[in-house]
Amino acid sequence: MDLANLVPVPVLLPLLAAGVTLALARHPAWQRIVSGTTLGIVAVLALVLCLAADAQGPIVLWVGAWPEGLGIVLVADRLSALLVLVSSIVTAIVVIFPSRRDIADSADGAPVSVFHPTFLVLTAGVANAFLAGDLFNLFVGFEMLLFSSYVLIMLGATKERVRAGSTYVVVSVASSTLFLLALALVYGATGTVSFAQLPERFAALDPALQLTIQLLLLVVFGIKAAVFPLQAWLPDSYPTAPASVTAVFAGLLTKVGVYAIIRLQTLLFPDSPLTDLLLVVAILTLVLGILGALAQGEIKRLLSFTLVSHIGYMLLGVALGTEQGIAGSIFYIVHHILVQTALFIVVGLIERIGGSTSLSRLGGLASVPLLAALYLLPALNLGGIPPFSGFLGKVALLDAALDAPSPLAIAAVVAGIATSLLTLIAVIRVWQRAFWQDRGEDDDRVHSLRVLPRIWIFAASTLVGITVALTALAGPLSAYAERASIDIEGGAYHDAVEEAMP
């Protein structure tokens, strides 16, 4: 079997399953089975693609057999296959969490049957964005995941969710409009939108036009990645959604934006004159994000601000533009997808057991040891405590920055260390307030895991276990990330696409 035929399956299979789950609208248990099974199969296929891309180089499929390379091209190289694998693992675990109480908080709320078809379309959009071999198909992937995220973020139709969702929709529509303008400009200037063909054609353009296109695309992807100063929409939008939705949004959606920035900077503008600008943005994202987190008294908002802050680490590696920096960013993306998703899922469990995510209303949760462990492990990982993967990823990025002969790179190292320490303070403050402080005398709630379905506890434990296992797998993952960065820098992507062109 030609492995190229497997490349579109992570996109097509969830779309097919979305239709099946829509037909099963009156059978939520079957919807969950279909969704979980589908995403589990996608994870297995993504693993196959990941191993194959590592062994033989990028796997390319031109869809439609159009002449002269005019069709849609999907490419599974080391980077895209790895991110499809990690995203499918996360979504396969998270999809079992939604219940009618989570998704429809009011009697007039959206039916639970809407969740699974929409969630599957979201996963298809994420996979399509990672596998896209041209800017237009990347735009299509963004739109698939954005339109489905509009539905997911407003599930239940509560006033709070609609208000936050409206902000999210406005910002997303604005960024999509800018993306279309950028596409028109790119195609008008070069006659193509292919990642493989654009570098050569960009080189023939006037430098001022190149810079304009690059800045426009950076703004578009910066909005989607929530980098400073384009991040204000995120802390107000994510915390209002159901816990399972927030977990996927926090773990995946911003990383699609970071992925797009990596492709932009390495494939299209490898000799970018904007290195200093990106380093400044990375530093400001790191520092201002974590300062916002320290000012929060609600766990979801606190974690949303840490999410913004840690995007700065990923942007730092991209801004450095070296193989070591790119490899560090790839490693940190994988780490952060898993850890951030795990934390938001655990916060969902905290909300169900404690009745709130406000630090002023929580306390005594240390009486539930398993829940305490499920929070503490990924929290310490996020804070960069050795030997966890968060520590290893930050060390790799800061080491890459120290090798760069630039005062801004040294400033980024200082900002990265400070951000790591402040992140640890933020997550430990949650631990102290939610788990160790005494409950009020009038609080007669009984904190027990009995209020949670066993499958939730198993799934959350599995996800947290994966974040811990990532430490043991750090060596192979780091080596894989280094090979992926060489692929990006070395032209293997371009050569594979050109060879596969019909």
Per residue in 240-252, pLDDT (tens digit) is 777 778 888 888 8
Within 10 Å of residue 295's Cβ, how many Cβ atoms? 10
Spatial separation of the C-alpha atoms in residues 377 and 373, rounded to whole Å:
6
| Predicted pLDDT of residue 107 | 39
Per-residue confidence band for 12, with pLDDT thresholds at 50, 70 and 90: very high
CA distance 199 to 36: 40
> Is there a contact between 357 and 240 (Cβ–Cβ < 8 Å)?
no
- Cα separation, 353 vs 494, whole angstroms: 52
Are the beta carbons of 329 and 318 closer than 8 angstroms?
yes
Cα–Cα distance measured from residue 209 to residue 463, given in angstroms and rounded to the nearest whole number: 46
Measured between its terminal Cα atoms, the distance across the chain in Å is 19
Question: For 415-445, what is each residue's pLDDT tens digit?
Answer: 999 999 999 999 999 988 888 877 655 555 5
Q: What is the mean pLDDT of residues 75-91?
A: 92
**Which among 259, 234, 291, 333 is positioned nearest to 419, based on CA atoms?**
291
Alpha helices per DSSP H over 253-388: 254-263, 275-294, 299-320, 323-354, 369-383
Sorting pLDDT into bands at 50, 70 and 90, what band is 330?
very high
Looking up tokens 């107000």 gives 236
CA dist 50 and 393 (Å) reads 21
- Closest-CA residue to 173 (of 123, 124, 233, 215): 233
* Residues 25 and 113: beta-carbon distance below 8 Å: yes
pLDDT tens digit sequence for 283-329: 999 999 999 999 888 888 899 899 999 999 999 999 988 889 999 99
Contacts 24+ apart (CB under 8 A), 271-275: 272/214, 272/321, 273/211, 274/211, 274/214, 274/215, 274/218, 275/319, 275/320, 275/321
Can you tell me the distance from the alpha carbon of 246 to that of 387, in angstroms, rounded to the nearest whole number?
28
Hey, what are 191's tokens? 């006659």
State the pLDDT confidence band at 364, using cuts at 50, 70 and 90: confident
| pLDDT of res. 102 | 47
Q: Which of 87-91, 154-158, 167-171, 240-244 is the least confident region? A: 154-158
Per-residue pLDDT of 388-418, as tens digits, reads 999 999 999 999 998 877 888 899 999 999 9
pTM: 0.91
Question: Is there a contact between 39 and 88 (Cβ–Cβ < 8 Å)?
Answer: yes
Residue 202 pLDDT grade (very low, low, confident, very high; cuts 50, 70, 90): confident
130 pLDDT more than 70:
yes
Confidence at 104, pLDDT banded by 50, 70, 90: very low
Other beta carbons within 10 Å of 376? 18
CB 423 within 8 A of CB 431: no
At 446 the pLDDT is 52
SS3 123: helix
What is the residue-wise DSSP string for 14-30? HHHHHHHHHHTTT-HHH
Q: Which amino acid is at 247?
A: A
